[in-house]
């Protein structure tokens, strides 16, 4: 079956549907295992790597801010670009977080 939103249907393997008929907990755990074993870049690793990147951009910006304060800064624009980049990276991570939270809320609101 070809599904237009394949990413969503892959979250619900047939084992999970089977679990609703019986109250067997083992079927439900096998469903979560199936969800975890999906290959490719999963959301958590995307979020973690963007967090790492945010941390390094903010460290660069902080470093340049210190240089600006102590008078060691050679190029004014270096600091402005670094702070701009840090603010963009923060916006990006916040956007990713917001999408994750809204996806979670959407699932929590689902009628079973």
- 34/54 Cα distance (integer angstroms): 31
Considering CB under 8 A, how many residues would be counted as binding other proteins?
A: 14
Residue 57 in contact with residue 96, Cβ under 8 Å? no
Q: Residue 83 interacts with other proteins (CB under 8 A)?
A: no
Q: Which of 46, 48, 88, 107 binds other proteins (CB under 8 A)?
A: 88
Residue 16 in contact with residue 33, Cβ under 8 Å? no
Q: Residue 53 interacts with other proteins (CB under 8 A)?
A: yes
End-to-end CA distance of the chain: 23
Nearer to other proteins, 14 or 74 (CB): 74
Backbone CA torsion sign across 71, 73, 79, 80: positive
Nearer to other proteins, 63 or 84 (CB): 84
Nearer to other proteins, 32 or 99 (CB): 99
* Minimal distance, residue 103 CB to other proteins, in Å: 12
């Amino acid at each position: 079956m070809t599904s237009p939103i394949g990413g969503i249907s892959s979250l619900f393997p047939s084992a999970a549907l089977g679990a609703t008929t019986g109250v067997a907990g083992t079927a439900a755990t096998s469903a979560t295992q199936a969800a975890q074993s999906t290959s490719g870049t999963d959301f958590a690793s995307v979020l973690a790597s963007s967090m790492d990147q945010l941390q390094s951009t903010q460290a660069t910006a902080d470093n340049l801010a210190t240089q600006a304060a102590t008078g060691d800064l050679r190029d004014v624009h270096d600091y402005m670009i670094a702070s701009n980049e840090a603010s963009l990276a923060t916006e990006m991570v916040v956007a990713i977080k917001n999408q994750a939270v809204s996806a979670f809320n959407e699932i929590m609101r689902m009628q079973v």
